[in-house]
Amino acid sequence: MKHPKTIAVLLGLTFAAGAALAHDDAYLDTQKAPNGGQLRMAGPYHYELVVAKDGRDIKANPVVVYVTDHAGQKVPTAGAAGTATILAGKQKAMAELKPDGDNRMKGFAQYAPAPDMKVVVSIALAGKQPEQARFTPAVAVAQGSGHKH
Protein backbone atom coordinates (compact mmCIF):
# COMPACT_ATOMS: atom_id res chain seq x y z
CA MET A 1 0.00 0.00 0.00
CA LYS A 2 1.50 3.23 -1.12
CA HIS A 3 -1.07 5.57 0.41
CA PRO A 4 -2.38 4.17 3.71
CA LYS A 5 -3.32 7.65 5.00
CA THR A 6 -5.40 8.37 1.88
CA ILE A 7 -7.19 5.06 2.22
CA ALA A 8 -7.86 5.70 5.91
CA VAL A 9 -9.33 9.14 5.14
CA LEU A 10 -11.54 7.75 2.38
CA LEU A 11 -12.81 4.97 4.63
CA GLY A 12 -13.54 7.51 7.36
CA LEU A 13 -15.51 9.68 4.95
CA THR A 14 -17.47 6.68 3.72
CA PHE A 15 -18.54 5.73 7.26
CA ALA A 16 -19.28 9.36 8.17
CA ALA A 17 -21.54 9.70 5.13
CA GLY A 18 -23.47 6.60 6.21
CA ALA A 19 -23.90 7.98 9.71
CA ALA A 20 -25.10 11.32 8.32
CA LEU A 21 -27.91 9.50 6.52
CA ALA A 22 -29.13 7.91 9.76
CA HIS A 23 -32.00 9.57 11.59
CA ASP A 24 -32.42 9.53 15.34
CA ASP A 25 -35.78 9.13 17.08
CA ALA A 26 -36.05 12.85 17.89
CA TYR A 27 -35.66 13.75 14.21
CA LEU A 28 -38.11 11.06 13.07
CA ASP A 29 -40.69 12.32 15.58
CA THR A 30 -40.66 15.67 13.73
CA GLN A 31 -41.53 13.97 10.44
CA LYS A 32 -45.10 13.38 9.31
CA ALA A 33 -45.48 9.64 8.81
CA PRO A 34 -47.34 8.75 5.59
CA ASN A 35 -49.85 6.49 7.38
CA GLY A 36 -50.31 8.45 10.60
CA GLY A 37 -48.04 6.25 12.72
CA GLN A 38 -44.67 6.70 14.38
CA LEU A 39 -41.39 6.32 12.45
CA ARG A 40 -38.27 4.57 13.71
CA MET A 41 -34.97 3.38 12.26
CA ALA A 42 -34.44 -0.37 11.99
CA GLY A 43 -31.01 -1.00 10.50
CA PRO A 44 -31.16 0.09 6.85
CA TYR A 45 -34.95 0.55 7.01
CA HIS A 46 -37.61 2.84 8.41
CA TYR A 47 -40.51 1.17 10.19
CA GLU A 48 -43.77 3.05 10.64
CA LEU A 49 -45.93 1.62 13.42
CA VAL A 50 -49.68 2.20 13.35
CA VAL A 51 -51.68 1.04 16.39
CA ALA A 52 -55.18 1.69 17.71
CA LYS A 53 -55.37 5.21 19.08
CA ASP A 54 -58.54 5.13 21.15
CA GLY A 55 -60.53 2.80 23.33
CA ARG A 56 -60.22 1.64 26.91
CA ASP A 57 -61.11 -2.01 26.61
CA ILE A 58 -58.54 -4.71 26.02
CA LYS A 59 -59.53 -6.34 22.75
CA ALA A 60 -58.04 -7.63 19.52
CA ASN A 61 -56.62 -4.48 17.90
CA PRO A 62 -54.56 -4.29 14.72
CA VAL A 63 -50.81 -3.72 14.69
CA VAL A 64 -49.49 -2.53 11.31
CA VAL A 65 -45.89 -1.81 10.30
CA TYR A 66 -44.93 -0.18 7.01
CA VAL A 67 -41.37 -0.82 5.79
CA THR A 68 -39.47 1.70 3.67
CA ASP A 69 -35.86 2.51 2.91
CA HIS A 70 -34.21 5.76 4.05
CA ALA A 71 -35.47 7.51 0.92
CA GLY A 72 -39.06 6.59 1.74
CA GLN A 73 -39.30 3.97 -1.02
CA LYS A 74 -41.42 0.90 -0.28
CA VAL A 75 -39.49 -2.24 0.70
CA PRO A 76 -41.32 -5.46 -0.29
CA THR A 77 -42.37 -7.61 2.67
CA ALA A 78 -43.26 -10.80 0.77
CA GLY A 79 -41.72 -13.73 2.64
CA ALA A 80 -41.06 -11.65 5.77
CA ALA A 81 -41.95 -12.59 9.34
CA GLY A 82 -42.11 -10.47 12.46
CA THR A 83 -43.40 -9.83 15.93
CA ALA A 84 -44.61 -6.84 17.91
CA THR A 85 -44.41 -6.85 21.71
CA ILE A 86 -46.75 -4.31 23.25
CA LEU A 87 -46.52 -2.98 26.79
CA ALA A 88 -49.54 -0.84 27.66
CA GLY A 89 -50.22 -0.04 31.29
CA LYS A 90 -49.66 -3.30 33.16
CA GLN A 91 -50.58 -5.41 30.14
CA LYS A 92 -48.19 -7.22 27.81
CA ALA A 93 -49.34 -8.50 24.42
CA MET A 94 -47.71 -10.08 21.38
CA ALA A 95 -48.69 -9.89 17.73
CA GLU A 96 -47.35 -12.12 14.99
CA LEU A 97 -46.73 -9.89 11.98
CA LYS A 98 -47.30 -11.28 8.48
CA PRO A 99 -46.99 -9.68 5.03
CA ASP A 100 -50.11 -7.71 4.15
CA GLY A 101 -49.55 -5.76 0.94
CA ASP A 102 -46.52 -4.32 -0.84
CA ASN A 103 -44.55 -3.05 2.12
CA ARG A 104 -46.83 -3.75 5.04
CA MET A 105 -46.78 -6.24 7.91
CA LYS A 106 -49.93 -6.78 9.96
CA GLY A 107 -51.07 -8.69 13.02
CA PHE A 108 -53.48 -8.45 15.92
CA ALA A 109 -52.88 -8.30 19.66
CA GLN A 110 -55.06 -8.06 22.76
CA TYR A 111 -54.37 -4.54 24.04
CA ALA A 112 -55.97 -1.27 25.00
CA PRO A 113 -54.21 1.92 23.93
CA ALA A 114 -52.50 3.72 26.81
CA PRO A 115 -50.45 6.93 27.09
CA ASP A 116 -47.44 4.96 28.33
CA MET A 117 -47.56 2.37 25.52
CA LYS A 118 -44.26 0.94 24.33
CA VAL A 119 -43.86 -1.40 21.37
CA VAL A 120 -40.87 -3.42 20.20
CA VAL A 121 -41.07 -4.54 16.56
CA SER A 122 -38.79 -7.16 15.05
CA ILE A 123 -39.02 -8.04 11.34
CA ALA A 124 -36.91 -10.41 9.29
CA LEU A 125 -37.33 -9.65 5.60
CA ALA A 126 -36.94 -12.62 3.24
CA GLY A 127 -33.31 -13.77 3.31
CA LYS A 128 -32.26 -11.04 5.78
CA GLN A 129 -31.39 -10.88 9.47
CA PRO A 130 -34.11 -9.47 11.77
CA GLU A 131 -34.08 -5.72 12.39
CA GLN A 132 -35.63 -4.25 15.52
CA ALA A 133 -37.14 -0.89 16.45
CA ARG A 134 -38.62 0.49 19.67
CA PHE A 135 -41.67 2.75 19.62
CA THR A 136 -43.45 4.99 22.08
CA PRO A 137 -46.55 5.88 20.06
CA ALA A 138 -48.34 9.01 21.15
CA VAL A 139 -51.72 7.58 22.01
CA ALA A 140 -54.78 9.71 22.64
CA VAL A 141 -56.92 7.77 25.04
CA ALA A 142 -60.52 8.96 24.86
CA GLN A 143 -61.29 10.26 28.34
CA GLY A 144 -64.13 12.68 27.80
CA SER A 145 -62.04 15.32 26.05
CA GLY A 146 -64.93 17.72 25.78
CA HIS A 147 -66.64 15.72 23.07
CA LYS A 148 -70.35 15.26 23.90
CA HIS A 149 -72.95 12.97 22.39
> Which pLDDT belongs to residue 141?
34
Nearest partner of 120 among 89, 74, 90, 82, judged by Cα? 82
**What does the pLDDT average to over 90-94?**
92
- The model's pTM is 0.78
Tell me the residue ranges of DSSP E strands in 73-117: 81-88, 91-99, 104-111
Give 10's contacts (C-beta < 8 A, 6+ positions apart).
none
Which residue did the predictor score with more confidence, 137 or 9? 137
List pLDDT tens digits, range 6-64: 454 444 544 444 444 556 777 887 788 899 999 999 999 999 999 998 888 899 999 99
Whole-number pLDDT of residue 88? 86
pLDDT tens digit string along 105-120?
Answer: 999 999 998 888 999 9
Whole-number pLDDT of residue 104: 98
The yes/no answer on whether domain 23-135 falls in CATH 3.40.50 is no
